[in-house]
Chains A and B, each alone.
Chain A
Amino acid sequence: EIVLTQSPAFQSVTPKEKVTITCRASQSIGNTLHWYQQKPDQSPKLLIKYASQSFSGVPSRFSGSGSGTDFTLTINSLEAEDAATYYCHQSSSLPYTFGQGTKLEI
């Protein structure tokens, strides 16, 4: 199975800061990498699909990039409501897998 490794695992950030989270795949997955946001006591929400396509209704400060094995989620001008755990997910091959998560503390 494809292993996704996220970094950092935890980051303390301040409002208006620019944040970058990385996700590395154990083998090339093209652009079949998606990002989710999970706030405390909530289910995950899709942010970015196919590495760089924003999902409907997602604020423009969230963006994604990358292909192959290295991917990045960027949050520009962080807001307090962005405190959450962020997960990457690959759909290149079954079983689908997730990264271990990156927790942002604001």
Chain B
Amino acid sequence: QVQLQESGPGLVKPSETLSLTCTVSGGSISTGSYYWTWIRQPAGKGLEWIGRISTSGNTNYNPSLKSRVTISIDTSENQFSLKLSSVTAADSALYYCARASAVCFDYWGQGALVTVSS
């Protein structure tokens, strides 16, 4: 059973860079035709797709965040990561990592709460 776990600082200062890592267990991140994905959910609100990375390193980002987002993958550590630069309070949210099997998200992490505040 594949499991995903987000980790990273829970508090980030405005204008700084948010960094999160998702560790995958129960299977190799480089096996299969999956996209490894980041999704966020502001408190009390809906879900926003941030972007994804394939096992070969191809990335796609939400245009609304594209200039500030970088997703990378480390197959040796079975991890993938999210960096979001120049954060503001609007970036405060619960950040989920997920596996996209074909086109839907079949496994999710439990979420990492990130607050942007000085």
Contacts and interface: CB of A to CB of B under 8 A. Distances in A.
A19 B39 CA distance: 27
B59 to A, nearest CB: 11
Contacts, number: 48
Interface in B28-71: 46-49, 60-64
Contacts of A98: 46-49
A50 B101 CA distance: 12
A89 B46 contact: no
A91 B111 contact: no
Contacts of A97: 49
Contacts of B61: 95
Interface residues of B, number: 19
Given A43-B109, A44-B105, A44-B108, A94 B60 contact: yes
Given A43-B96, A95-B62, A95-B63, A55 B49 contact: no
A96 B50 CA distance: 9
Interface in A58-106: 87, 89, 91, 94-101
A49 interface: yes
Interface string B103-116: 11110111100000
Contact of A46 (B48, B60, B62, B104): B104
Specify which of B48, B63, B103 lies most central, judged by the most chain A CB atoms within 10 Å of its CB.
B103
Given A49-B104, A50-B104, A95-B61, 14 more contacts: A1-B63, A36-B105, A42-B110, A43-B96, A43-B111, A44-B47, A55-B106, A87-B47, A89-B104, A95-B60, A95-B62, A98-B48, A100-B46, A101-B46
The 7 closest A-B pairs by CB, nearest first: A91-B103, A43-B108, A34-B104, A96-B49, A98-B47, A95-B62, A49-B104
